[in-house]
Amino acid sequence: MPRVSAGHLAARREQILDGARACFSRYGYEGATVRRLEEATGLSRGAIFHHFRDKDSLFLELAHQDARRMAEVVAEQGLVQVMRDILTDAASGGTGISWLGTRLEVSRRLRTDPMFRADWEQHAHGLTEAIQLRLTRQREAGVVRPDVSIPVLTRYLELAFEGLVSHLAMGLPADDLRAVLDVVESSVRVPAAH
């Protein structure tokens, strides 16, 4: 039996995660049956579960991967950029990064699944830390307003983020949300001199 290279295994794992992201986004966690996961990934259940213990560990890895990617964007461009990316993706019908579907399922499972919540809390601090570090750097550069503490600004941005996710999840109009995000961004910055 030929050995499979590490590169091939890594590519296969990414194929599974990409297909699972689309499947979870379209059907939700409960609706993403093993059969649907097979169709979305183009692989058998044996191939899928060779890489992931079960559907729950697959979803959790996907959620962690998305959180890490969001933290990278936050570190470079801020949480408002993550919100802009989600809004752009939602407007394109989910053909881009598709963070929205995963984030909706994370929020739902945090509310309804104590075991998921316990596992998520062990790993979920990266995004909050990235927001705080970005705000601290921006404050030191004179960009972020000095009259509100970093923890309060962090919580404010996280609430705006969750509000955007909820708004999009409810299917409410998104036509003026870019302007809303401009207001959110300007509200954390040092006011411009008139």
User: What are the tokens at 126?
Assistant: 């990266």
Alpha helices in 42-192 (DSSP H): 45-51, 55-77, 79-91, 99-112, 114-123, 125-140, 150-169, 177-188
Domains of the chain: 1-52 (1.10.10.60), 53-188 (1.10.357.10)
What average pLDDT score do residues 7-36 get? 90
Query: Whole-prediction pTM value?
Result: 0.83
With a cut of 90, say whether residue 187 has pLDDT above it: yes
- What is the spatial distance between Cα 146 and Cα 188, in angstroms, rounded to a whole number? 9
- What is the spatial distance between Cα 103 and Cα 82, in angstroms, rounded to a whole number? 12
With a cut of 90, say whether residue 26 has pLDDT above it: no
Summarised one tens digit per residue, pLDDT across range 133-185 is 999 999 999 999 999 999 999 999 999 999 998 898 888 888 899 999 999 99
Q: What is the pLDDT of residue 153?
A: 97
Contact call for residues 65 and 103 (beta carbons, < 8 A): no
Contact call for residues 90 and 102 (beta carbons, < 8 A): no
Summarised one tens digit per residue, pLDDT across range 75-91 is 999 999 999 999 888 87
